[in-house]
Amino acid sequence: MPQRIATIEERLRKALGDGLLAQEPLRLHTTFRIGGPADFFFAARTPDHLVTALRAARAAGVPVFLLGGGSNLLVSDAGFRGLVIRNACDAVEFEGTVAHVGCGTDFLDFIYQCRDRGLAGLEFAAGIPGSVGGALFGNAGCYGQDIGSYTIECTHTTPDGAVVETKPAAWYEFAYRDSRLKREPRVLLSCLLQLRRGDPVESRREIEEKLELRRIKHPQWRIEPTAGSYFKNLPPDWQMPDAKHSPGTHRVPAGQLLDACGCRGLRVGDAMVFAKHANIIVNAGHATAREVLQLAGTMKARVREKFGVELEEEVMFLGERPEPGDASA
């Protein structure tokens, strides 16, 4: 086995050069700050580099995971057996009210760039962590809006890097926190987003307002590491007497059910439900993926018992799941 791994590393390094890292801790690349090492790690700065990395992995017979901004992700304590490619393609070009955006671009940084050019539309998303590509993958949104609604088209490649193609927004089947990419994997390289002319002063005010709301209700992930909202809100047809609905979507927030079940402050090891928001788990020190999964399981069980509904995870899990433990919150 050691001889085979050495051979794989040599083949990958020949294609990718000194940018290839071995045994890179993935906790350094996620907003949760949790996760064991990847066998190999490579940050692709251009679409060509990204496609080259995918083709090299295919030639070497290595599993691949594409990493964006590292939010909305929980990585196994055992890490990932294969090559993690971080999409670091962050070139942005503007033409009128249309932006051509590399999918490795930081989402908030892009929103600031739009503001500075008097372009409006995405202010609602200020504070959503991660990359533009990650936002497209999960159709990130809030307050009844989402990034899919502003998408004209995207350029992606197949997971093996064999085919690069551009598809219109309709192809991606954007829906609530969902896209076709979750069912038919593609690697996003860039996208065209349609914005509108706006007032930079008004955009700045709205962005600051949204960031302040997040500061009040959400943890600041650089201080209190988190993957963001852990569970999806309830489906539109699920109703609860006297429930408050999330703005714009008319869905019952998962946090409301978790609150009713007394989940705030629950803790397993260093995995803890955030004191100000029952649908957010934070890493309160040196939390492990096992602890997060055990805590999330307790939260789901409480909601299932009280409301008869099964919460669905919004946070994606990468790697081998640990065997269920006997620890509880």
Q: Which residues of 38-62 are buried (b: 16+ CB within 10 A; e: fewer)?
A: bbbbbbbbebebbbbbbebbeebeb
Beta-carbon contacts of residue 195 (< 8 Å; ≥ 6 apart): 97, 98, 99, 114, 119, 120, 121, 122, 150
Q: Is residue 305 annotated as part of the catalytic site, yes or no? A: no
Q: Is residue 179 annotated as part of the catalytic site, yes or no? A: no
Q: Is residue 81 annotated as part of the catalytic site, yes or no? A: no
Instruction: Out of 173, 206, 224, 314, pick the active-site residue.
Output: 314
How many CB atoms neighbour CB 306 within 10 A? Answer: 13
For residue 46, the one-letter residue type is T
Three-state SS at 26:
helix
DSSP category for residue 148: G
Beta-carbon contacts of residue 130 (< 8 Å; ≥ 6 apart): 31, 68, 69, 70, 71, 72, 106, 107, 140
Backbone torsions φ then ψ of 178, nearest 5 degrees? -150, 155
What are the residues facing 318 on neighbouring strands? 75
Beta-carbon contacts of residue 194 (< 8 Å; ≥ 6 apart): 97, 98, 121, 150, 151, 152
Contact call for residues 291 and 271 (beta carbons, < 8 A):
yes
Instruction: Out of 229, 251, 290, 302, pick the active-site residue.
Output: 229
Place of tokens 């429930």: 243
Instruction: Out of 33, 177, 251, 290, pick the active-site residue.
Output: 177
The set of catalytic residues is 177, 229, 314
